[in-house]
Amino acid sequence: MSAAAAYTRAGSYFHWLVAAPLIASVGCVLKAQDIPKTEKKEKGKWMWRHKSLGLLTGMIVLPRVGYRLFNMSKYKIAHMPGEGSITSAAGKAGHIGLYAFMTIMVRTGIVCPAHQ
């Protein structure tokens, strides 16, 4: 199976629709952390952007996870030649970890009162 055939077109769109605001949200919070606490207005702008992008990510994550679960049979990606069981297990663990990050971080950002 070629790399191009590994994802459906809809799966690829969901991937990039979640990736862009998720990465931008992390970038915004890192920028806010670099701003001195004395510059509250500037820090607040970056945190507002972080929260807005996090909320946008959250709105896209649910349909993406649903699509992925509904279409699991389409994602039976063959192992690469020479790939051992350790490499395969590490790849699966990394994939699960990224899905966990994508769902847990968004949920805690929306639910946690410390972010209000």
Count of structural domains within the chain: 1
What pTM was computed for the model?
0.73
Task: Provide the token pair at 63.
Answer: 């349909």
Q: Which residues, including other chains, have CB under 8 Å from residue 52's CB and lie 6 or more apart?
A: none
Quick one: what percent of the chain has pLDDT higher than 90? 34
Cα 20 to Cα 2, 43, 89, 98, 112: the distances in Å are: 25, 22, 27, 14, 23
pLDDT at 80: 65
Inter-helix orientation angle 9-34/40-70, to 10°: 160
Res. 9 pLDDT band, cuts 50 70 90: confident
- Domain boundaries, position 92: 3-115
